[in-house]
Amino acid sequence: MVKKFLLGAVFLLLLSAAGCQQKQIMLMNAPLDTGDKVPLPPTDEELLTSKSFVAFIPVQYAENLSRYHKALSVSFVQSVLEEYGDLKIIDDIRVSRALNRSEFAKLNADLKRSKLRRFEDELVKKTVELGKWLRVRYIVLMRVQPSPEKVDSNDWSTYIRFRIIRVEDPVKNELNHEFTFIFSESNDIWEELGSLVRGRFPLSGFIIESRANRAYVRINIGRKNRIKDEQECKIFRRVRKKIKGSNGGTISSHEVNRIGQLQLFRVQEDFSWGKVPSKFREVIRQGDAVRCY
């Protein structure tokens, strides 16, 4: 009886393996699609990361903070966002150069005047315009000041307040948070802050190949990016738009329009295959953006 059971189990395993292999062969034998590509294809830099790009407005500080306390407070928040939030912070130099442009002179002056004591509506509006010009998905306002918390003589603390804003339309405040950063408790605070941002921001990828009249698409994100089989992802078409800035000038930005969705069915280490419902196959193209939530 046991022998028959084992033989039956082996048969089922072989049948299952054969079925998976057949699916793989059928997929790879499906004709490769050619033809139109998107008007704004991904850059090499975008293809190398699954993270959404985020810019930090120059962090503002209260007086009486040492350079050491400033640097550690900022690096702590940025490290959590990159580790748990799947965000990639762009170089500060790009932000500084943008702020030195004439169209953002008012924003630069307002930052120096206000030191971000309050996140004023007009300043936030100009910050969003800067984010659109930089072509990032998110932008961060942040202020660090001394903390009233009493700590041991060999410890230290700061009070940190930040706001993460999505700059793509529709503009949205993704996260407002403030907390006391106590150096000796940094491990616990790391986990607490990480739990706030984990899964909040979507993984971003692109369609790099399609087959069988776009019934199946391959995207450039995989298992290492914490996605899984049967996960649903949304498909977007990137478009270039020109908007009128608060100073009267024109700002060129990249926006996205949702055009479809897919379901992952074969997730590999650094790429995945997805199946596209028939009603979306006509419109999607190689180079369209994919976001997995």
pLDDT in tens, 108-163: 999 999 999 999 999 999 999 999 999 999 999 999 999 988 899 899 999 999 99
Does 208 lie in the same domain as 174? Answer: no
| DSSP reduced 3-state for 14 | helix
Under a CB-based contact definition with an 8 Å cutoff, are residues 241 and 132 in contact?
no
Does 59 lie in the same domain as 41? Answer: no
pTM beyond cutoff 0.85: no
Q: Last residue of some domain: 162, 197, 232?
A: 197
| DSSP reduced 3-state for 232 | strand
The number of domains in the chain is 2
**pLDDT confidence of 86, banded at 50, 70, 90?**
confident
Does 76 lie in the same domain as 94? Answer: yes
Does 175 lie in the same domain as 73? Answer: yes
First to last CA, the chain: 48
Cα(75)–Cα(290) distance, integer angstroms? 29
With a CB cutoff of 8 Å and minimum separation 6, the contacts of 121 are none
Under a CB-based contact definition with an 8 Å cutoff, are residues 42 and 206 in contact?
yes
287 pLDDT higher than 60: yes
Does 168 lie in the same domain as 69? Answer: yes
Cα(277)–Cα(209) distance, integer angstroms? 16
**Per residue in 168-188, pLDDT tens?**
888 999 999 999 999 999 999
33 pLDDT higher than 80: yes
Q: Last residue of some domain: 197, 221, 255?
A: 197
**Per residue in 41-62, pLDDT tens?**
999 988 888 888 999 999 999 9
Does 184 lie in the same domain as 78? Answer: yes
Note down the domain range covering 255.
31-46+202-292
